[in-house]
A and B are shown apart, each in its own frame.
Chain A
Amino acid sequence: MRKFITFALAGTALALAGASSALAQTQLRIFTGGQQRPDVMRQILEGYMAKNPGVKVEVEVGGATSEQQQQYLNTVLASRDSSLDVVLIDVIRPAQWAAAQWAEPLDSYLGADKDATMARYLPAYREANIVDGKVIALPYFADAQFLYYRKDLFEKYGVQPPKTWAELKDASKKIQDGEKNPNLSLFQTAGAPIEGTVCTYLVPLWQLGGNLTDKNGKLSLSADIAKKPFELWGDLKAAGVLPTNIAEIVTDRMRQNYQAGQLVSTMNWGFVWNRVENDADSQVKGKTGVVPMPAYEAGKSATCIGGWQLAVTAFSKNKAEAVKLIRYLSSPEVSKQQAILASHLPVFPDVYTDADVLKANPWFKDALPVVQTARSRPVTPRYNEVSEIIRTNMNSFLAGTKTADAALADMQSKLGTIFK
Chain B
Amino acid sequence: MSAATLDKAPPKAKPRLSPLERSERRLGFILLAPAFLLLAVVVLYPIIELLTTSVRFYHLAQPWMGTPFIGLEHYARALSDERFWESTLNTVLYIVITVPGAVIVGLGLALLANQPFSIKWPVRLGLLLPWALPLVFAGLIFRWFFEYNQGLVNNALGFFGIGPIPWLTNPTFAFAATCIAIVWKTSSFVALVLLAGLQTIPKSLYEAAEIDGAGKWQQFVEITLPMLRPAIVVALIFRTITAIQTFDIPYAMTNGGPGHSTETLAMYIHKTTIDFLDLGYGSALAVLMFIVSVIATTGYLRHTRRDPRKA
Partner among A70, A101, A244 whose Cβ is within 8 Å of the Cβ of B148 = A244
Q: Are A396 and B63 in contact (CB under 8 A)?
A: no
Within 8 A of B (CB), among A66-92: 67, 70-71, 74-75, 78
Within 8 A of A (CB), among B166-187: 166, 168-171
- Asked whether B193 is an interface residue with its Cβ less than 8 Å from the other chain, the reply is no
- Asked whether B98 is an interface residue with its Cβ less than 8 Å from the other chain, the reply is no
Name the distance in Å between B42's Cβ and chain A's nearest Cβ: 17
Within 8 A of B (CB), among A227-283: 243-248
Instruction: Name the A residues within 8 Å of B147 (CB-CB).
Output: 248
Name the distance in Å between B252's Cβ and chain A's nearest Cβ: 12
Q: Are B259 and A100 in contact (CB under 8 A)?
A: no
Within 8 A of B (CB), among A392-420: 392-393, 395-396, 398-402
With A78-B277, A388-B271, A401-B171 in contact, is A381–B257 under 8 Å at CB? no
- Asked whether A13 is an interface residue with its Cβ less than 8 Å from the other chain, the reply is no
Partner among A67, A243, A248, A381 whose Cβ is within 8 Å of the Cβ of B61 = A381
Q: Are A247 and B276 in contact (CB under 8 A)?
A: no
Instruction: Name the B residues within 8 Å of A398 (CB-CB).
Output: 169, 258
Interface residues on A, range: 20 to 34
Name the distance in Å between A383's Cβ and chain B's nearest Cβ: 8
Q: Are A384 and B276 in contact (CB under 8 A)?
A: yes
Name the distance in Å between B228's Cβ and chain A's nearest Cβ: 41
Partner among A70, A388, A401 whose Cβ is within 8 Å of the Cβ of B261 = A401
Instruction: Give the docked Cα–Cα distance between A382 and B256 (Å).
Output: 21
Interface size on B, residues (CB 8 A): 26
Instruction: Give the docked Cα–Cα distance between A278 and B187 (Å).
Output: 46
With A96-B61, A99-B62, A245-B149 in contact, is A193–B256 under 8 Å at CB? yes
If over half of A's interface residues share one DSSP class (helix, strand or loop), that class is named, otherwise mixed; here it is helix
With A193-B257, A396-B259 in contact, is A382–B61 under 8 Å at CB? yes
Partner among A78, A248, A388 whose Cβ is within 8 Å of the Cβ of B60 = A78
Partner among A75, A101, A382 whose Cβ is within 8 Å of the Cβ of B274 = A75
Instruction: Give the docked Cα–Cα distance between A327 and B147 (Å).
Output: 43
Q: Are B169 and A99 in contact (CB under 8 A)?
A: no
- Asked whether A138 is an interface residue with its Cβ less than 8 Å from the other chain, the reply is no
Q: Are B169 and A245 in contact (CB under 8 A)?
A: yes
Q: Are A248 and B63 in contact (CB under 8 A)?
A: no
Instruction: Name the B residues within 8 Å of A183 (CB-CB).
Output: 149
Q: Are B258 and A247 in contact (CB under 8 A)?
A: yes
Q: Are A67 and B149 in contact (CB under 8 A)?
A: no
Please name the residue on chain A nearest to B146 by beta carbon: A248
Q: 23 pairs across A/B with beta carbons < 8 Å?
A: A71-B274, A74-B275, A74-B277, A75-B274, A78-B60, A99-B62, A99-B64, A100-B277, A101-B63, A244-B148, A247-B169, A248-B147, A248-B169, A381-B61, A382-B61, A382-B62, A388-B275, A392-B257, A395-B258, A398-B258, A399-B259, A400-B169, A401-B171
